[in-house]
Structure 1
């Protein structure tokens, strides 16, 4: 069976994804939002925080914002899930602090069914906030302070973000950082989980996603985000998101677009 992904946009900027994956392997990537998923069928294997977690049907999948992860089928039939991609500011407001999930794949069939039901019904914001608060109460704590990022890595990240159209060589980035190439690679991967070029790809994909969500055509999203053409964008979208760029086109649910609507 072919893989299937559907994107919708709910209230308060929450992105709603319904997906059925049978063979897709996600490359390491991160989302700007928190991911809260209810697994409805099969089992997903998730590479996260240096280990591999398994999320069978009846489980939640809980990923922190900006956390590098990868996924693949853990059984021959793959897996189905419904995912809430929640803006960090909304989850922080509900928690009273910037939360960090303390469990990645808790088996909680009742809460998983509740989340799937709300997702399927495109529930209004108050109902979603109540359910998300239940997730936070059971499976989160205050975020642990991260080690200070090296100034050299921060300098390279800012340079990459400032010009998505340019693909700098490793020699160019090493000169900017003021260190040998392979020392920079090790430092950057240790701080971000990916190489500088992998980080640039994530920035480009995120920018393209934002343009598509705002209603811009795929050609515009590809050109403005630094991709060679639409096929280049399409290929990387498939590898990272398991979906085509067109599936990210704005499609607001009837529950309303913003808090209180």
Structure 2
């Protein structure tokens, strides 16, 4: 079974003991939080037991009602939207990108579970496999979003030089990145640094060191952006 969560009106993160799951996060509260646009290095399975979740993805609103699971692929920009009203109970499972499909998927999982504590790693694996079985073929000539993301995060070169490697002007490259990744190149790099901070915190690195290693000006700078993006502070995340 999954480690028992203390359910509060906040995102509650836990490390996973299963090799196929990187991390778990639970929410129980009136509606759910609105957060800044972001992406993850892992694929995110959003499993809603009651209430609903809503996201802004590729210019459209995607709603995940109770009894459904959404698979948000690694690297996909998404904006969690506030869903005021009825109590929402949700489990996020972050799994390696190779364990799930590379396109957005929403599937009906029914009402098999009454609480998050009844959901096992095996259940999460079944959901990931279900999304993989529905993976569509990639259209010919489609720009590889992963290649763009890799170029922006693994290179320390200025944006203009990266643009030239794609055969684009700086302005043309910025338009392409906005179209394919949803944000400007510099914003994408900032979100990648936040994901790096998350990895370092999971590894147990002190918060001040994480802020420096991930390229933030200081701990308070990291804390402010981390809270608005992931719904918790680095201190709370690190302790969990």
Q: Displacement, 1:139?
A: 7.4
The residue number in structure 2 matching 1:144 is: 137
8 Å CA contact retained: 1:44, 1:78: no
Residues 107 and 73 (structure 1), Cα distance of their counterparts in 2 relative to 1, 3 Å cut: farther
From 211, 227, 237, the counterpart of 1:222: 211
Indicate the SS of the match to 1:249.
helix
8 Å CA contact retained: 1:64, 1:100: yes
The residue number in structure 2 matching 1:9 is: 15
Q: How many Å separate the matches in 1 of 2:102 and 2:153?
A: 27
From 95, 105, 109, the counterpart of 1:86: 95
Q: Displacement, 1:212?
A: 0.5
Greater fraction helix: 1
The residue number in structure 2 matching 1:109 is: 110
Q: How many Å separate the matches in 2 of 1:75 and 1:53?
A: 16
Task: Work out whether 1:231 is the aligned partner of 2:220.
Answer: yes
Q: Displacement, 1:144?
A: 3.3
The residue number in structure 1 matching 2:176 is: 187
Count of aligned pairs between the two proteins: 224
Residues 37 and 177 (structure 1), Cα distance of their counterparts in 2 relative to 1, 3 Å cut: closer
Q: How many Å separate the matches in 2 of 1:44 and 1:227?
A: 30
Indicate the SS of the match to 2:174.
helix
Q: Displacement, 1:238?
A: 1.4
From 54, 71, 94, the counterpart of 2:80: 71
8 Å CA contact retained: 1:101, 1:141: no
Q: Displacement, 1:45?
A: 1.6
Give 5+ residue unaligned stretches, structure 2: 1-7
The residue number in structure 1 matching 2:185 is: 196
Task: Work out whether 1:61 is the aligned partner of 2:70.
Answer: yes
Residue-by-residue CA offset, 1:192-230 (whole Å, 9 max, x unaligned): 222111111111111111110010111011011011111
TM (normalized to structure 2)? 0.78
Give 5+ residue unaligned stretches, structure 1: 93-98, 252-261
8 Å CA contact retained: 2:48, 2:65: yes
Residue-by-residue CA offset, 1:145-181 (whole Å, 9 max, x unaligned): 362449xx84x95364344xxxx8xxx5235524544
TM (normalized to structure 1)? 0.72
The residue number in structure 2 matching 1:161 is: 154
Q: Displacement, 1:131?
A: 4.6
8 Å CA contact retained: 2:152, 2:188: no
**Comparing 138-147 with 196-205, which one deviates more in the overlay?**
138-147
Q: Displacement, 1:16?
A: 0.9
**Comparing 193-202 with 76-85, which one deviates more in the overlay?**
76-85
Residues 182 and 131 (structure 1), Cα distance of their counterparts in 2 relative to 1, 3 Å cut: closer
Residues 25 and 205 (structure 1), Cα distance of their counterparts in 2 relative to 1, 3 Å cut: same
Task: Work out whether 1:177 is the aligned partner of 2:177.
Answer: no
Q: How many Å separate the matches in 1 of 2:91 and 2:161?
A: 44
Q: How many Å separate the matches in 2 of 1:175 and 1:36?
A: 36
